Amino acid sequence: MNKKIEVGVFLPVGKNGWIHSMNTPYTPGTFDHVLEVTKKAEAWGYDFVLSPAIWRGLRGPSEHWMVSLESVTTSAALLQATERIKVMTTAHMTVYPPATIAKMITTLDQIGPGRVGLNLVTGASYLDLSHVGLWKEELSHGDRYRLGDEWISLVKRLWTEPVVTHKGEFFETNEGTMGPKPSVMPTLVNAGSSPRGLKFAAENCDIAFVVASDEPIYIESAKRAKSIAKELNKPAVRTFGLMQLVPAETDEEAQALLEHFNAGVDSICVDDVRAGYQQNPSNKDVSELSKVVGDDESDAVPDSAMVGSYESLARRIANTVLEADLDGVLIIVPDYIKDLDAVSQKLFPLLEQFGVSSNVGTEFAVAAS
Ligand SMILES: Cc1cc2nc3c(=O)[nH]c(=O)nc-3n(C[C@H](O)[C@H](O)[C@H](O)COP(=O)(O)O)c2cc1C
């Protein structure tokens, strides 16, 4: 029997998405574009979209992420504009006090009842947050997740209890009330791939995201997420893989596309992405595999990207899902209009042949095309 997975789209809320190149396909980082992508994803049968939180534009001539959307407000508008698809929004727990996000999420649940997810992040790039004064110098990597533990347990109490008085290490409430309560508990996700991040996800979330590809090192990391959840007696925690795809009709065309992106690499930008992590005083504790950047300055695309024809990628995605025991995947594509259509129509339906199935490109396809 085929393994059924959920599939989501990692929304291009920042200019140029995840390709650090002058030759990146049109990805303006504007709301109009993100709305079009989300409507397309809903029509093609994707289960969810995830809107990441980006704070800083990068140096270099490609002006990577120099335009980017705020995640929660974007998600509100996307929920209003759609009917079925789940919208996951992102919040840095180190930036917002818990009550602010708890209130925003209950409001999102009024806009799209039962369709709201929350991606909880602690921030790994120093530069991403420090340039607008949002980096908390006093917190180590471990402290950030300790803060996260307290943060999310307080949010859950505000969502479920009538009156909450809390005096903790980081936060306080005094007979705090919050209404409306969410109609269903929002899906909670985290993408920390370090042992501490995985522990946070297992203890507090429904889904742990990991960067995924069919390289053994990524398969092992995904399996580790599941085994940590089991060790912590949380076997219900699901694991989803973030997969960056460079798809085309043939393997040769896909390879040529990768070379085209690399030919226009913005190495100042690649350096700046790295500098963002390196300047984090706790960088040694941040999972290396989750750093979405190439190995050297000639790589416009992260090393984890999978490059190939629709058929090769269908086989490789299915193998990764089965080997790594993933319950879902979240995709990045170069051209979020053209490539999203192509993979929905030509790649995802092929998963069936390789032992995996999803809703993408099946009964919903007619509506989208
Ligand atoms: C699917 C996915 C989504 C992520 N979204 C964000 C985000 O929106 N903002 C952010 O600062 N970091 C984001 N990250 C990075 C992680 O939150 C985390 O900082 C990183 O994986 C390092 O993990 P660690 O803290 O366990 O070392 C994301 C990672 C993945 C795989």
- Across 42-74, b (16+ Cβ under 10 Å) vs e yields bbbbbbbbbbbbbbbbbbbebbbbebbbebbeb
Q: Separation of 174 CA from ligand 1 center, angstroms?
A: 32
Please enumerate in sequence order all residues whose Cβ is within 8 A of that of 112, keeping only pairs 6 or more positions apart, or say none: 79, 80, 82, 87
What domains lie within the chain, and their CATH numbers? Answer: 3-363 (3.20.20.30)
Q: Separation of 192 CA from ligand 1 center, angstroms?
A: 6
Residue 294, pLDDT > 80, answer: no
Per-residue pLDDT at 285: 84
Percent share of the chain, pLDDT over 70: 98
Per-residue pLDDT at 83: 97
By the 10 Å C-beta count (0-12 exposed, 13-18 middle, 19+ buried), 168 is classed as: middle
Per-residue pLDDT at 289: 76
Continuous segment of H or E residues that includes residue 320:
helix 310-324
* pTM to 2 decimal places: 0.96
Distance CA 350, CA 316 (A): 11
Say if CB 81 and CB 38 are below 8 A apart: yes
Percent share of the chain, pLDDT over 90: 89
* Residue 250 identity (one-letter amino acid): T
Segment 153-189, tens digit of pLDDT:
999 999 999 999 999 999 999 999 999 999 999 999 9
Say if CB 39 and CB 80 are below 8 A apart: no
Beta strand 164-167 with 172-176 is: antiparallel
Reported confidence tier of residue 284, pLDDT bands at 50, 70, 90: confident
Q: Which residue's CA is the nearest one to ligand 1's atom 14? A: 191
Q: Which residue's CA is the nearest one to ligand 1's atom 29? A: 191
Q: Tell me which residue of 364, 345, 333 sits closest to 45, measured CA to CA.
A: 364
Per-residue pLDDT at 364: 55
Per-residue pLDDT at 365: 53
Q: Which residue's CA is the nearest one to ligand 1's atom 24? A: 192
- Across 112-121, b (16+ Cβ under 10 Å) vs e yields beebbbbbbb
Written as six digits, the tokens of 343 are: 């993979």
**Which protein residues are within 6 Å of ligand 1, measured from CB?**
52-53, 90, 119, 121-124, 128, 191-194, 197, 209, 211, 242, 286-287, 290, 330
CB atoms within 10 A of CB 319: 15
Segment 296-355, tens digit of pLDDT:
778 999 999 999 999 999 999 999 999 999 999 999 999 999 999 999 999 999 999 999
Q: Tell me which residue of 242, 190, 254 sits closest to 218, measured CA to CA.
A: 242
Residue 367, pLDDT > 80, answer: no
Say if CB 80 and CB 112 are below 8 A apart: yes
Distance CA 7, CA 45 (A): 9
What is the chain's mean pLDDT, rounded?
A: 95
105: Cα within 13 Å, side-chain hemisphere? 33
Number of the ligand 1 atom closest to the C-alpha atom of 196: 26
User: What 3-state class would DSSP assign to 314?
Assistant: helix
Number of the ligand 1 atom closest to the C-alpha atom of 121: 17
Residue 132, pLDDT > 90, answer: yes
Number of the ligand 1 atom closest to the C-alpha atom of 123: 11
- More confident site: 362 or 244: 244
Residue 279, pLDDT > 90, answer: no
Number of the ligand 1 atom closest to the C-alpha atom of 200: 26
For ligand 1, pick from 94, 193, 284, 327 the residue to mutate: most ligand atoms within 8 Å of CB: 193
Per-residue pLDDT at 363: 56
